Structure 1
Amino acid sequence: MNGAMRGTDDVGSAGVASGTAPRPVFPFAALIGQASLQQALVLAAIDPGLGGVLISGPRGTAKSTAARALAELLPQGQLVNLPLGASEDRLIGTLDIETVLRDGSVRFSPGLLAKAHRGVLYVDEVNLLPDALVDALLDAAASGVNTVERDGVSHSHDASFVLIGTMNPEEGELRPQLIDRFGLMVELQNVFEPQVRQAIVKARFAFELDPTGFRAAYAELQASYVQRIRAARAALPLLSFDDAVHARVSALCIDAAVDGLRADLVMLRAARALAAFERADAVTVRHVERVADAVLLHRRRQHDAPHANQRQQEGEAQSQDVTGSASDRAAGSATSSADPDWGYLPPEPTGAVPVKGVIPLDAKKR
């Protein structure tokens, strides 16, 4: 399923380091209780132009396990990790300007984007990365091309990879401008169903005790994933959308009050990828509805409506407290026009208490 690949410090367990045996990878087909995540990852593998998958969830929900498992299904079979402390040059690569000035040739040192070509670029805790790096990641993931420019010299190369970013919401959020550029999003939750929890633990123990035997049990399913992803990539240009599909996409995006048209485009591409994976003859409304959640989860703005209603109610209550009811205001207005001194309070005498030891002023005069 994987060919031998050059290893670097940034290549994960799905790759093969030079002179070392590959570390076994937990099979993608053996993931339990992750149907929505598996679908999103497969769609991104079929059409990397979707812009990648953002996985949000607490610790220990198999986010990195799923990323490594997906890499094994791709042509290059390579997983490249982007460390949190990586520089922009390490990500996009560098140009040797001195060589250009000396002999006119461009010497390019590839970065992690080049190494991730036809594989998976995995970014753990993507919400903690500098915005400039996230921008570069998302640009390359959406276009499939990485361009490096230095002092008027530029170099471009193919960078078609599946971007997988993970984040723990407890550690901070991505800016809305960045999170919207991820094609799909899946939100994982802790598992509290006893049977599912036990099945996950048993599968993990079985894999650790006998990785070879465990993987052999899923070899047929794994091969099926590889074949279907390859066939779906080839089928993408053959599938089109009718008016009913366009209408449903528009209705879902309008109902979610999304900004711009990126959601419409991603939803159409995701529905097409799903139809290709299932060997359908055409994209249908049903395909659209099955990918809508992953497309709209991080884009919908309906969650702002309750807050807006609450603010409106609070404003109305405050207005009533300050100005009173309409009838009170009307009565006050009528009284004010009839009596110009309405509201005037005459002075009232205040009782005085004599203080011992104080000589009255009139006594001093005497």
Structure 2
Amino acid sequence: MASVFPFSAIVGQDEMKLALLIAAVDPKVGGVLAFGDRGAGKSTAVRALAALLPKMKVVAGSRYNCDPERPEEFSDESRALAARGPLKIAQVPVPVVDLPLGATEDRVVGALDLERALAKGEKAFEPGLLARAHRGFLYIDEANLLEDHLVDLLLDVAASGENVVEREGLSIRHPARFVLVGTGNPEEGELRPQLLDRFGLSVEVKTPDNLKDRIEVVRRRDAFERDGAAFIASWAKEETKLRKKIVVARERSPSVAVSDAALERAATLCMTLGTDGLRGELTLMRAARALAALEGASDVTDAHLKRIAPSALRHRLRRNPLDDAGSSVRVDRAVAEIFG
């Protein structure tokens, strides 16, 4: 991934960067939806984060990125490999898989390997994009333009963490747990509510309106394009520091305490805003815990909840015909009312 722009070198866009780091620390937070201006660094940030993350251990020879330490989640292929003797382990980069808007269902979920079927008369499965994305990121640019049948498919897999393919005489199951990352421009339409609710965090991405920041963005991008290797080397120390921070936060996160008082604050905030269901509270709690772990804290505090509340809740609000304020403004008002 030598040609990927360093995550640490991205200027501004603090809310988006924090949401991606939180998703990297605890994928159970859910995906990240970044809506906003074109050319503001959304796709750059996603690819930069994947390049930043430490390599992951997989079962060597597995086409599904199976985790050798979680045999209960093995695909049939990995179970067959395990039955033959001690598993070999490999280390691979965290995958970032693009889901094109025009992708067919076969390409997404996988299908019969026609080449082997015709050449050898064998029924074999050719894994799709969901298999490649397991334990990594599934990236959808212009997520609001995704076709309805693919949205339904993603919702099913996101809910179960498993891809089931039954067609042409094949019956295949394999793990498919990934961080769903969507980007888009609100001018081109809204996301279906069912898919919107599946994203743990939603961030607003805006073109920098600060002259100094705009100049710095252009300067760094120009330096990267003229000599990528030298630019990446100049940011290597910052990248290493951030990578270590993520690794430590992953280890620390399960032990971060969430008090009854913090849970009460989160639930009160969601009730005040009138969010549907309980995903708001769960996401707010998980994201605040991951944020606390990133900052080296042992407990979730009001400061953590306040900081992450807009990202966790702004996309879960019902429309209020009596209040024409934007969702971010409504969340900020509720936070001010409850936290003071």
Same fold (TM over 0.5): yes
SS at match of 2:52: coil
TM-fit CA distance, 1:154 = 4.3
Q: Which of 188, 203, 217 is 1:200 aligned to?
A: 217
Amino acid at match of 1:289: K
Aligned to 2:303: 286
**Shift of the alpha carbon at 1:106?**
8.1
Q: Residues 58-87 of structure 1: CA distance to partner in whole angstroms, max 9, x if unpaired?
A: 211111111111111233233211111111
Q: Percent identity of the aligned residues? A: 52
Match in the other structure for 2:18: 39
CA offset digits 1:101-153 (Å, max 9, x no partner):
xxxx9843211111122322211111111123123334444554333344896
* Distance of 1:190 and 1:172 partners within structure 2: 19
How many residues are matched?
282
Range with greater deviation from structure 2 (155-164 or 58-67) = 155-164
Map of 1:166 onto structure 2: 183
Q: CA deviation at 1:289?
A: 1.5
- 1:69 is matched with which residue? 48
SS of the aligned residue for 1:166 comes to strand
Partner residue, 1:102 = none
Match of residue 346 from structure 1: none
Contact (CA 8 Å) 2:125, 2:170: kept in 1 or not?
A: no
The amino acid of 1:263's aligned partner reads G
Please give the per-residue CA displacement for 1:143-195, whole angstroms capped at 9, x wherever unaligned.
Answer: 54333344896433232322211111111111222212211111112222211
Q: Measure the CA separation in 2 of the matches of 1:278 and 1:229.
A: 10
Name which of structure 1's ranges 166-175 and 141-150 shifts more when overlaid on structure 2.
Answer: 141-150
Q: 1:216 aligns with which of 233, 258, 277?
A: 233
| 8 Å Cα contact 1:49/1:143 also seen in 2 | no
The one of the two structures with greater contact order (alpha-carbon pairs below 8 A, sep at least 6) is: 2
Match of 2:70 in 1: none
The change in CA–CA distance for 1:276 and 1:138 in structure 2 (over 3 A counts) is: farther
Matches within 5 A, 1:194-273: 194-273=211-290
Residue 184 of structure 2 aligns to which amino acid in structure 1? M
CA distance in 2, matches of 1:69, 1:108: 32
1:190 counterpart (207, 210, 216): 207
Map 1:60-209; keep pairs closer than 5 Å. 60-74=39-53, 75=55, 76-94=93-111, 107-141=124-158, 143-150=160-167, 154-209=171-226
- Displacement of 1:89 after TM fit? 1.9
> 2:201 & 2:8 partners in 1: Cα distance?
20
Q: What secondary structure, in the 3-state scheme, does the structure 1 residue paired with 2:274 have?
A: coil
CA distance in 1, matches of 2:160, 2:257: 21
From the superposition, tell whether residues 262 and 202 of structure 1 become closer, same or farther in structure 2 (CA, over 3 Å): same
SS in 2 for 1:54: strand
Q: 1:29: which partner in 2?
A: 8
Which of these two proteins has the greater Rg computed from alpha carbons? 1
Shift of 1:281: 1.4
**Does the CA contact (< 8 Å) of 1:256 and 1:302 recur in 2?**
no
For residues 73 and 139 of structure 1, the distance between their equivalents in structure 2, rounded to whole angstroms, comes to 29
TM-score of the superposition, structure 1-length normalised? 0.71
Q: Which TM-score applies when normalising by structure 2? A: 0.76
Q: Distance in 1 between matches of 2:9 and 2:167?
A: 46
Matched letter for residue 220 of structure 1: K
